[in-house]
Structure 1
Amino acid sequence: MLTRPLRDRRPTWPDVLLSLAVAVAGLVESFGRQGAGLEQIKDPMPLAAGAIVSGALLLFRRRFPMATLLTLTAVGFAVQMITDAGYYAAWHFYSTLIMVHTVASAAELRSRRGIAGLGCVLIAYGHLQTLQYNDVPEVLIGAIFVGVAYTSGILLRRQIDRTARLAEHTTRLEMEREERARWAVAEERARIARELHDIVSHNVSLMTLHVGGMRRMLGDGRDHERELLLGVERAGRETVEELRLMLGMLRGTEDGDAPTPQPGLDRLDDLVSQVREAGPEVHLRIIGTRRALPPGLDLSAYRLIQEALTNVLKHAQAAGVDVTIAYGPDELSVVVINDGAGSGRTPHGGGGGHGLIGMRERTAMYGGELSAGPITGGGYRVFARFPLGDPAGAG
């Protein structure tokens, strides 16, 4: 059973209103029925005091459920002894039902507190039967009311426990989802670093070779320039070595030491052919004039399209896919649209996979923008924009 802390059992505004209602109703009953008749109250003061005490006890019923029920029973017995009358006070009966409900909702019946609470309920019910002469139907009616109050308390406690467990489970699932998302981002960044390792190392090595060639072309007459180029060449070689040490460790052991050729948009036709063989009809459209792109950006654009087409095969149940690549003066845009009926419920939206994480990471790395989501009328659209310029300036 999930126990609630004491601060959650403090009187609430509904408790205060309920307490006032019982006390005021008891006062109205005590003084409103004052008289010498059979169904009237000769001395209203003890009953009025009992109504006030009963209302006050309701304020503490959540924190001390069994104690307040037993105290109410004792108050009722004391009022009965003082008045020596058989008048059946309504405030006592209503307060008893409320506290029976609270006792039942406070503890699991199979626990020690639950068994003790049931004993308190039986004592209170037994005392109700001594307040006036009751025939068998009256006894059964009282038992029904008390039984309903006790059962409703049990159902309320089970519902509260179930809600608390569901909330805890939901929180745990949310934390696990966020943790998986963080791991996915880290893994995707490591994958991007592994893919860019060869590109960066190749370009830095090429720069170093060019600097070395220029140094040798200067001859022996320009020692100052040669010294400067020698320093640049030395820094380039050190950079290549550091790249090998820092980025090379990101490679998996299965990759080996041999560099892996990285694809680009020039190999997009092969990718489209592979997807067509798997089922959907893929239409590739190029807008603008193809031109050489920075190797890393070229690779990122290719991987983005590859991931979008992979998601189509896995989740979209699409018959057709349109891939559009537009070369602008200062940006490259990529649009992948499929007509699949299942796209809106797929990991495109991050429900079960992390395809969008890789797309976002690759696009953001070059200061670009990415949007993905269902489109009106069915299907799914992935749009990415890559600035063709300085990423730092674009971002």
Structure 2
Amino acid sequence: MNLAPRLPRPSWLDVVLALAVAGAGVVEAFGRAGAGPGQVHRPGLVAAGALLAGVILLPRRRFPVATLAALTALSALFRFAVLDDDYPLTAWQFYSNLILVHTVGSAATGRRARAAGAATVLAAYALLQTLPGQDVAEGLIGAIFMGVAYGSGVLLRRQTDRAIRMAERAAVAAEEERTRIARELHDVISHHVSLMTLQAGGVRMLLAADPARERERDLLHSVERAGRDTVEELRMLLGVLRDGRAPVGLDQLDRLAAPLRAAGLDVRIGTTGRPRPVPPAVGLAAYRVVQEALTNTLKHAGAASADVTVGFAPSALTVEISDDGTPAVAGAGHGLAGMRERVALHGGTLRAGPGAGGYTVAATFPLGS
């Protein structure tokens, strides 16, 4: 699992910093305009440089070394081609250099990237020392500020890398624990449910010779079927814990209908009401009802088409499956008992019987507000 961030786009902070640098440069350019020493002799050009510096700052987190190189080139242009020899360091040069040096320190992750970033920082510092009015004290002050900016960026990068490593280790540990829990649950629950199912089947076979025990045999057969269904659903649900697979639900009805359509049954799926999330267990039960009803339609009803309607009401979920097959054959008890048990487990009701031109199965599941 890789939690390293992607290349970021300019954020609101980048925009604010760019506006701050450009604004400070424009204020200085026109606020200190004049012909004397230390004053801005060409305020229009200085303001234009401040605006360009603000634009250069915008992609600083995506291209930190390139933006600092571009700013250094802009400073060189103003130093050797535009500004007078007695003009000192401008505000936009000072602030934008500190911001970009910090960004370079926090962004360089590889050895080559760190070397390129350090070289660019040294080039920017060297250029600033060529400006008029720079002495030993100014050079030391500039070195301190740029060193602090670069060092704070390096510390930020190290903390970020540490946080990413810790998050990756936590994710791996959580995945391993989830797999362990899934394995234990599967071993314990599936074993006991399978054992109960086999025992119920054994008792049913012992009663097979007694004609008077037909009702008991039917009940035991229902227990067997419920046990097999439980083991199957446990395998599916525990797979979610094991590898994060999503359980089947109403959002997969189209996938369910695809092989039925290929087999010649025209399945049409529609919804009524405003769709909303339903509990996973309810969604699974509704999916199974639709699956069983469509399977019965395809196998036993001789239908050419079937309509599946999912209804979302404020307090209930309904699924209705209607076909144009033979009602007497479709309603011959194929899977209806299992569907009723599944729906009743969630406090719902199932209605099945002849409909308009075919057979209809409708299940209603109560939902909370």
User: So what's the TM-score if we normalise by structure 1?
Assistant: 0.51
Query: Which deviates the most, 53-62 or 132-141?
Result: 132-141
Query: How far is the alpha carbon of 1:68 from its aligned partner?
Result: 1.3
Cα distance between partner residues in 2 of 1:18 and 1:87: 23
* Whole-angstrom distance in 1 between the partners of 2:44 and 2:51: 11
CA distance change for structure 1 residues 90 and 394 in 2, over 3 Å: closer, same or farther? closer
Structure 2 residue runs without a partner (length 5+): 232-339, 347-369
**Is it true that 1:118 corresponds to 2:118 in the alignment?**
yes
Q: Distance in 2 between matches of 1:165 and 1:56?
A: 34
Per-residue CA distance 1:313-343 (angstroms, 9 max, x = gap): xxxxxxxxxxxxxxxxxxxxxxxxxxxxxxx
What's 1:86 paired with? 87
| Higher Cα Rg, which structure | 1
Q: For 2:27, give the aligned amino acid.
A: V
**1:219 counterpart residue number:** none
Amino acid at match of 1:21: A
Residue 19 of structure 2 corresponds to which residue in structure 1?
Answer: 20
Match of 1:320 in 2: none
Superposed CA deviations along residues 135-174 of structure 1, whole A, max 9, x for unmatched, are 3222111111101110111111122222222223333333
> Are positions 1:102 and 2:103 aligned together?
yes
1:66 aligns to 2:65 (yes or no): yes
Counterparts of 2:93 and 2:345 in 1: how far apart (Å)?
Answer: 76
How far apart, CA to CA, are the structure 2 residues paired with 1:157 and 1:56? 24
Equivalences for 1:295-334 in 2 at 5 Å?
none
Identity value in percent: 43
Q: Which amino acid in the other structure matches residue 52 of structure 1?
A: L
Residue 24 of structure 1 deviates from its aligned partner by 0.8
Counterpart contact for 1:2–1:161, Cα < 8 Å:
no
Structure 2 CA distance, aligned partners of 1:183 and 1:203?
Answer: 30
Distance change >3 Å, CA 391–CA 188, structure 1 → 2: farther
Deviation at 1:194, TM superposition (A): 4.8
Aligned length: 225
Contact preservation (8 Å) 2:88, 2:133: no
Q: 1:74 to 1:192 in 2, by over 3 A?
A: same
- Confirm or deny: 8 A CA contact 1:27 1:51 kept in the other structure: yes
CA RMSD of aligned residues (A): 3.1
**Residue 207 of structure 2 corresponds to residue 181 of structure 1:** no
How much has 1:80 moved relative to structure 2? 1.9
What SS does the aligned partner of 1:132 have? coil
Partner SS, residue 208 of structure 1: coil
Q: Which runs of 5+ in 1 are unaligned?
A: 215-228, 251-389
Deviations 1:176-207 (A, max 9, x none): 33333332332122221354256424522442
- Compared with structure 1, are the counterparts of its residues 50 and 3 closer, same or farther at alpha carbon in structure 2 (3 Å cutoff)? farther
1:95-137 Cα distance to aligned partner (Å, 9 max, x none): 00111111111213x6111101100000001111111233322
Structure 2 matches for 1:194-273, cutoff 5 A? 194-196=194-196, 199-211=199-211
Provide the rounded CA distance (Å) in 2 between the counterparts of 1:118 and 1:190: 61
Alignment of 1:143-162 (within 5 A): 143-162=143-162
Structure 1 residues 340-379: aligned runs within 5 Å: none
Residue 64 to residue 391, structure 1, CA distance change in 2 (3 Å): closer
Distance in 1 between the 2:341 and 2:167 partners?
Answer: 44
